[in-house]
Amino acid sequence: MLRSHTCGELRLTDINTEVTLAGWVQRVRNKGGLIWVDLRDRYGVTQLIFEEGSTDKALLDKAASLGREFVIQASGKVIERTSKNDKIPTGAIEVKAETLEVLNAAKVPPFIIEDETDGGDELRMKYRYLDLRRNVVREKLQLRHRMMQETRKYMDAQDFIEVETPVLIKSTPEGARDFVVPSRVNPGEFYALPQSPQTFKQLLMVSGFDRYFQIVKCFRDEDLRADRQPEFTQIDCEMSFVTQEDILNTFEGLVRHLFTNAKEVQLGEVERMTFADAMKYYGNDKPDLRFDMKFAELNDVAQGKGFAIFDQAELVVGICATGAGEYTRKQIDALTEWVKRPQIGAKGLVYVKCNDDGTYKSSVDKFYSQDDLKAWAEKVNAKVGDLILVLSGDAKSTRKQMSELRLKMGEDLGLRDRNVFKPLWVVDFPLLEWDEETQRFHAMHHPFTSPKTEDIPLLETDPGAVRANAYDLVINGVEIGGGSIRIHDRPTQQLMFKHLGFTDEEAQKQFGFLMEAFEYGAPPHGGIAFGFDRFCAIFGGSDSIRDYIAFPKNNSGRDVMIDSPSTIADEQLKELSIQVELKKG
Q: Which residues are annotated as a binding site for L-aspartate?
A: 174, 220, 445, 486
Half-sphere exposure of 376 (CA within 13 A, CB side): 32
DSSP conformation class of 259: I
Q: Tell which residue, 18, 121, 61, 135, has the closest CA to residue 561.
A: 121
Are the beta carbons of 547 and 496 closer than 8 angstroms? no
Length of the chain: 585
Amino acid at 225: R
| Amino acid at site 486 | R
- Roughly what angle, to the nearest 10 degrees, separates helices 198-206 and 504-518? 40
Which residues make Cβ contacts (< 8 Å) with residue 346, sequence separation at least 6? 339, 340, 391, 393, 398, 401, 405
Determine the distance from the C-alpha atom of residue 193 to the mean position of all C-alpha atoms in its chain, rounded to a whole number: 21
DSSP state of 545: S
* Residue 5, phi then psi, degrees to nearest 5: -140, 165
Give the residue among 83, 102, 101 at the shortest CA–CA distance from 91: 83
Going by the annotation, the residues of the binding site are: 174, 220-222, 229, 445, 479, 486, 531-534
Smallest Cα–Cα separation from 201: which of 538, 575, 577, 514? 514
**Antiparallel, parallel or unpaired: β 161-162 and 190-192:** unpaired
Please provide the distance, in angstroms rounded to a whole number, between the alpha carbons at the two ends of the chain: 59
Bridge-based pairing of strands 423-427 and 470-475 is antiparallel
**Distances in whole angstroms, Cα of residue 530 to Cα of each of 62, 151, 238, 252:** 52, 11, 12, 12
Of 497, 564, 533, 550, residue with least CA distance to 226: 533
Whole-angstrom Cα distance, residue 297 to residue 286? Answer: 20
Contact yes or no for 391/317 (Cβ under 8 A): yes
Residue list for the binding site for ATP: 220-222, 229, 479, 531-534
CA distance 17 to 13: 9
Distance in angstroms (rounded) separating the CA atoms of residues 314 and 318:
14
Residues 6+ positions from 585 with CB-CB distance below 8 Å: none
Provide the phi-psi class of 381: left if phi over 0, else alpha when psi is between -120 and 50, else beta: left
